[in-house]
Structure 1
Amino acid sequence: MRVRSIASNAITLLLAGLIIFIVLSQVFGFPAPIAFVETGSMAGTIDPGEGFIGIPAPLAGEPSVGDVVTYRAQIIQDGGLTTHRIVDVTEAGYVTQGDANSFTDQDDGEPYVTDAQIELVALQFNGDVVTIPGVAAAARTGSGILAAIAGVIGVSETSGANTGLALGIAGLLIVGAAYIYDLFTGSATRVLRRSTRRWAVVDSRFILLALLLALSLPILSVMAVPSGTTEITITSAEFERPNDPTVIKAGGTAESTSNVEAGPFIPRTIVLEPRTEGVQFADRVLQVAPGGTAETTLTLSAPEETGPYIRARSEHHYIGVLPSSVIVALHDIHPFVAMTTITGMLLSPVAVLFYLIVGFRPIVLREETR
């Protein structure tokens, strides 16, 4: 195989791997793994317009002092995603601060940051954040092109996260289609330059792998997209407000009804979990029929000390092809284990059918002249 062909295949695999990583990040509800900052609060570490590589929180492990994290703020910068450094850890949560700021986010009114709010942890090497110059400029330059592509494939009216997911899947399909087209047709230039004949052969197992990967993305999306974490800002106050369940008497509790819905056509097993202290559910596991709704009682508790606090709860949706006890056991290992097991169960008939019809053997794709 010539050096040019090896380089071409390597670039194709690199692009496909990058797109898969971006798609999976979007599927599991995380921001894009290559992000940038727009303000000067981290100047000197990450200057405005510079990018950084963000590791999704579940893969990065437990954050610690010194980590630069991207979290969903409640107060500062009008809420939304904020990238600052963890400078202290308390029982109530993390204390964060921009490297260029002389005050912490909590001094500025932001509640303590919880694990549920952290989305990304910036990649560091020898204690320094790995930065990428010009990411913001490239993002702005390409935004018009991306918007045009989104319009062509019919996702111009979707939210930013869903647009990113759709574009990622479209990119993956384009790369895959181009690679398959090249396998079957080859390049006219290469044909003219070759003087001997040979057969282009591919192992059918690689075709099966590509097929299973393509089918797994929508299955994972069905489970991952409706899953996620909901944050609730409560106020521990001297007196409760009967009409506002988020204002709770200090040291007391408040109950409310929590509703979860299932999409059409597919039965769901939904696992509810507290992501912070002060959250309890009457029922942890809910079985929901296609298009149905289930409800449980949510109890929030307030600390003795008055002030605002973050309470977070998560819900994980699974396709109900296994008994709920099995799904919960797999979920307790890790949600990804449960999702991949269910995906494997759904795709196993496809693999068996492929084996019975095609088998595991070399497949001749085209005749080439060298």
Structure 2
Amino acid sequence: MGRVESVLTGFALLFLLITTLSLVAPAGTMPVVFTSPISDSMTPTITQDDFLVVTAGDVEVGDAILFETSQHNRNVLHRIVDTTEDGQYITQGDANDLTDQQDGFEPVSDDDIYGSVMTLGGSTTVSVPIIGAILSNPTTVISMWVVISLIGFAPTIFGDNQRTSLSVPVERGSSDRKIVIGVAICTMLLLPVAILGTPVTEGATIISSESVNPEDDTQRTAAIGHSTTQEVILTSDSLVGMTQSAHLEGDLRLEEVQSSPIRPETTVFVSNPPRKSPTADIAQITLYAYPSTLPQSTLQTLANTHPVLAALASSGVIAFILSASAFIFINPHRITRQKKATIYENRR
């Protein structure tokens, strides 16, 4: 690989690393986050396909900010339109008629804010069209890792770097070890693509209504000021030995996931936060099937952070076992020592 190609590959790897960290790391743990909106509430200023840079720092009225809403169990990208008397912020999507606080959100405090969208001159949003839709998809990011990794590692793994001569025997064990490690790397990279590319999705809705009595709460309706739990059963075609974990996006809260490596059905329990006014809380449940290499609770915790993290962790265990086995059981010097011993015995 030439110098120019090496530099370009290095920049690509750095960009992918930052993007991956932005996807996997919990919001607020990095000073710079790459993101894109999950809805059209900021159109026409910002669309769902835009690739945005969010930086930490002080914010003011007029800034588009990324903030956390604990009562809605999600992060939101909206604009600050006003402040309250106690210094908190009123937010609103550019395409929305009501502020978030009129729609049931609590005022946003400084502790809830991860940062503001980068702008030029304080007015023009720094964004890259289309790229956001590509890089916000975990499967696409991992696929890019696969391509770049194969380009970078293929010569090392599969190239014939062994110099042979009449006096130096070929260390066949070394080649075997490289092949096994190559399989481990491909497993680490390709298996998450398969995991994230075949999810099962299901919607859930719980309505808070003034006409419902607390005693009449059902899985789909709840009285004002009360919470109820809804049971959602999802069926997947995953193989035996795969553990299903759920990832939730929306207004509802994930309470529990019941799955088994030997059953195709997974039961997901979600609940609504108590509401002060009539509200329809909606969420999208996405079910991923991971190799059962880690406990269900561990996989679910990782999936709650981000599905990519759970996919990499579960696949990484397989890759680690393959790599460790290659180093333990495949001795690159075994054949050389055997040949030397044979030559020594023949000379005697």
Mark the CA change 1:312 to 1:101 in structure 2 (over 3 Å): closer, same or farther. closer
- 1:52 is aligned to 2:52: yes
* 1:268–1:287 CA contact under 8 A, matched in 2: no
State the match for 2:166 in structure 1. none
Any unmatched runs of 5+ in structure 1?
Answer: 73-80, 143-159, 186-202, 361-370
Please list the CA deviations of residues 212-264 of structure 1 after superposition, one character each: whole Å capped at 9, or x if unmatched: 44322333346556499966463332336989854433234545432133442
CA distance in 2, matches of 1:54, 1:252: 36
Among candidates 213, 223, 230, match of residue 249 of structure 1: 223
State the match for 2:342 in structure 1. none
SS at match of 2:259: strand
Mark the CA change 1:343 to 1:259 in structure 2 (over 3 Å): closer, same or farther. same
Mark the CA change 1:163 to 1:214 in structure 2 (over 3 Å): closer, same or farther. farther
Mark the CA change 1:310 to 1:8 in structure 2 (over 3 Å): closer, same or farther. same
CA distance in 2, matches of 1:261, 1:9: 46
What displacement does 1:346 show?
1.4
What displacement does 1:293 show?
0.6
Mark the CA change 1:176 to 1:338 in structure 2 (over 3 Å): closer, same or farther. closer
Among candidates 211, 218, 221, match of residue 190 of structure 2: 218
Among candidates 270, 275, 278, match of residue 307 of structure 1: 278
Number of equivalenced pairs? 290
CA distance in 1, matches of 2:178, 2:189: 17
What displacement does 1:351 show?
0.3
Over aligned residue pairs, what C-alpha RMSD do you find?
Answer: 6.2
State the match for 2:6 in structure 1. 9
CA distance in 1, matches of 2:287, 2:237: 13
The amino acid that maps onto 2:318 is L
Mark the CA change 1:40 to 1:34 in structure 2 (over 3 Å): closer, same or farther. closer
The amino acid that maps onto 1:294 is T
SS at match of 1:288: coil
Among candidates 105, 114, 117, match of residue 112 of structure 1: 105
The amino acid that maps onto 2:15 is L
TM-score (norm: length of structure 1): 0.50
* 1:279–1:300 CA contact under 8 A, matched in 2: yes
Specify the structure having the higher radius of gyration (Cα).
Answer: 2
Mark the CA change 1:212 to 1:128 in structure 2 (over 3 Å): closer, same or farther. farther
* 2:78–2:92 CA contact under 8 A, matched in 1: yes
CA distance in 2, matches of 1:337, 1:47: 26
The amino acid that maps onto 2:126 is I
- 1:351 is aligned to 2:323: yes
What displacement does 1:337 show?
6.9
- 1:293 is aligned to 2:287: no
Mark the CA change 1:262 to 1:71 in structure 2 (over 3 Å): closer, same or farther. farther
Please list the CA deviations of residues 165-210 of structure 1 after superposition, one character each: whole Å capped at 9, or x if unmatched: 665555444444544677759xxxxxxxxxxxxxxxxx99999887
Mark the CA change 1:14 to 1:359 in structure 2 (over 3 Å): closer, same or farther. farther
The amino acid that maps onto 1:235 is S
* 2:204–2:232 CA contact under 8 A, matched in 1: no
State the match for 1:234 in structure 2. 207
Mark the CA change 1:261 to 1:289 in structure 2 (over 3 Å): closer, same or farther. farther
* 2:203–2:285 CA contact under 8 A, matched in 1: yes
The amino acid that maps onto 2:79 is R
Please list the CA deviations of residues 70-129 of structure 1 after superposition, one character each: whole Å capped at 9, or x if unmatched: 999xxxxxxxx984225679xxx985225799962454xx453899xx9x9655599969
State the match for 1:18 in structure 2. 15
* 1:252–1:302 CA contact under 8 A, matched in 2: yes
More divergent stretch after superposition (285-294 vs 342-351) = 285-294
Mark the CA change 1:161 to 1:5 in structure 2 (over 3 Å): closer, same or farther. closer
More divergent stretch after superposition (318-327 vs 348-357) = 318-327
CA distance in 2, matches of 1:48, 1:314: 20
SS at match of 2:326: helix
CA distance in 1, matches of 2:274, 2:3: 61
State the match for 1:365 in structure 2. none
* 1:228–1:315 CA contact under 8 A, matched in 2: yes
